[in-house]
Chain A
Amino acid sequence: MNDISELTITALRFGFLLLLWVLIFSIVTTMRRDLQIGRKAVTGAPTAREVRKHPELAASPPPAIQHARTLVVTEGPLKGTTVPLAASPILLGRAQEATLVLEDDYASGRHARLFPQGSRWFIEDLGSTNGTYLADQQLTRALPVELGVPVRIGKTVIELRP
């Protein structure tokens, strides 16, 4: 089986190395789309120059955002309690380590977690037994909590207030 010349074998040898890198460059080319999504996030808003040329692009000034400053318990054993919101996450549950210790038999030890991201607060269920409900929808993942929307944990209902 020596009918393949030395030249062919050398060509195949370098051809294989080339093939390896062709695969890598194809993969990198494929991945470019992910980078484009990132770029859009940065340059999505029209620049000042674009606005001058096309006035219709100028978005109406965003409504004044009201930041949540306090957490109020509106129902349940702790009704009336308020907790000031700072920049750190809040742990809700019956456990003593929780930021807001719920004296609620229907709440789990570590029930839910309220955390700030950007200018909004998000709520995330921590695998509680009875679930966390944001405006009557059971949480399956972290969701943003708007001002005044009730969050139910067991028999306790909390709300964010400005």
Chain B
Amino acid sequence: MIQTDTSPKPRRNVELVLIVLALAVGIGASALVSINSEVGLDRDFWFQSSLLAVAAFAFHVVLRLRAKYADPVILPIVVALNGLGLALIHRMDGPADDTGNNQLRWTLIAMAVSIAVIWFLKDHRVLRRFTYISLAVSAFLLLLPLIPGISAGEILGARVWIRVGPMTFQPGEIAKITLAIFFAGYLSSNRDLILLAGRKIGPMQFPRFKDLGPMITAWLVSIGVLVFQRDLGSSILFFGLFIVMIYVATSRISWVVIGLLLILGGGFVASQIFSHVAFRIDSWINAFTPEVFGRSPGGSGQIVQGLFGMADGGLVGTGLGQGRPDLVPFANSDMIVALIGEELGLIGLFAVVMLYLLLFTRGFRAALGTRDAFGKLLACGLSFAIALQCFVVIGGVTRLIPLTGLTTPFLAAGGSSLLANWIIVGLLLMISNTARGPVDTTPMVNKPPASTNTNGIRKPATGKTPSAPTEAVKQQ
């Protein structure tokens, strides 16, 4: 008989060792870039590396204090990816460019925000009370780039940016978190309705029409993003997020079928109506045709140069700082995967894909382990959002699917994406903390006083939890 000790263990020391390894990857990449670019290990290099290391260790200490039982591998994976991304972006910087330093600033801001989330939120279940507020916030964030005063206009064909002081920001990145919170809260309360009602056609049970409401809403939102912001990637991301969360909540394959039909129909109509969607599909199928290659806008030059770069990299790559990724437009953001394929080769690219896969499995492990339905759905949704983003970007760069403008999580240059993904990591760490920690058997003592619940009815504040609901307000 095997006796395994199943009592919860913090495993923070293991995390510390892995963080040191992850920093070795990030800083090592940075060092290789510096050596190969003839600059050598100058003051900038040491300054940036020590900043990243300090931030990573600070995060680790916060986990020791606030989320003792959090998953020990999530943080090292993310630190490794972020460090590698910093090195690659720095590598693409010309003498006058500041993208690398900008990315480092955003990394530090994002880590600080993520630490703040863990420090002040303490328990992810609190977020369930903000279900409908999250929906409103998501709608607001998605509408922001369309408001004339703060919109940054159309940048690179998409209207997804707003201007905040001297910087631009992509509110849609944050909207994916608030949407995940809304879906998780809504589905954890209404799961049975969607699950039980409906009629059976063949082997599948289809939901009632009125339960389709939120599904249709999500579809309209993603189509709206596509039409008004001209952002194909985000619209796929939002809709995919909803399909997966409703599938996880109800385990009905019919939702996936309906969702895929809706997205295929929407995609087909969009490709007929919108030129930018049609261009994307054309430059995917006919990438190597000369007239498509040289066409502007909407040519396939970017994809094909990326493919050539990856072919040049081969199995082991040309070495960091020794390829010619400057031939590929946007090599530090949209096409950073092609840059990895060129300079680190197939072996390095697979390592990066593997890191994403491990991160995704840890998110799902947290979802399996946690005991509340809201936390399960939230962890599934958030980790799936990262996975879908990786699939859309890496699939697009390797010409498996049409290239769409999504960012590679943690790697690509872009502050808003970095911020959103670090917040997601904070939430996943918090959910894994409740999943792996000892079971809390005490009743909830600090029930938030006089909080408005989803029905908007206030509960009178009482000194202690009432044993019977005698003081409750009569609901009308």
Interface positions of A (Cβ within 8 A of B): 1-2, 4, 9-10, 12-14, 16-17, 19-24, 26-28, 30-31, 33-34, 36-37, 39-40, 43-44, 46, 50, 57, 88-89, 91, 97, 105-106, 108-110, 113, 124, 126-127, 129-131, 133, 136-138, 140-142, 152, 154
Contact = CB atoms under 8 A, between A and B. Distances in A.
Interface string B448-476: 00000111010100000101110011110
Nearest to B469: A130
Given A2-B38, A27-B76, A127-B128, A106 B474 contact: yes
Interface stretch (B20-28, B215-223, B290-298): B20-28
18 contacts: A12-B32, A16-B25, A16-B28, A17-B317, A19-B24, A23-B80, A24-B351, A30-B18, A31-B361, A34-B365, A40-B6, A43-B2, A106-B475, A110-B190, A127-B129, A141-B372, A142-B371, A154-B469
Interface in B63-108: 72-73, 76-77, 80
A131 B469 CA distance: 8
Contact of A23 (B76, B189, B195): B76
Nearest to A114: B192
A97 B192 CA distance: 10
B4 A36 contact: yes
Given A1-B39, A9-B36, A21-B351, A88 B196 contact: yes
B22 A23 contact: yes
Contacts of B197: 97
Given A14-B316, A20-B348, A24-B354, A129 B459 contact: yes
Nearest to A51: B1
B192 A9 contact: no
A42 B425 CA distance: 32
Contacts of B468: 133, 152
Contacts of B40: 1
B351 to A, nearest CB: 4
- Interface centre among B4, B193, B455, by most chain A C-beta atoms within 10 angstroms, is B4
A28 B469 CA distance: 50
B317 A37 contact: no
A9 B345 contact: no
Interface in B29-67: 29, 32, 35-36, 38-40
A24 B459 contact: no
B14 interface: yes
Contacts of B129: 127
A108 B455 contact: yes
Nearest to B17: A26
Contacts of A126: 188-189
Interface string B420-461: 000000000000000000001001100100000111010100
A64 to B, nearest CB: 25
B136 to A, nearest CB: 18
A5 to B, nearest CB: 11
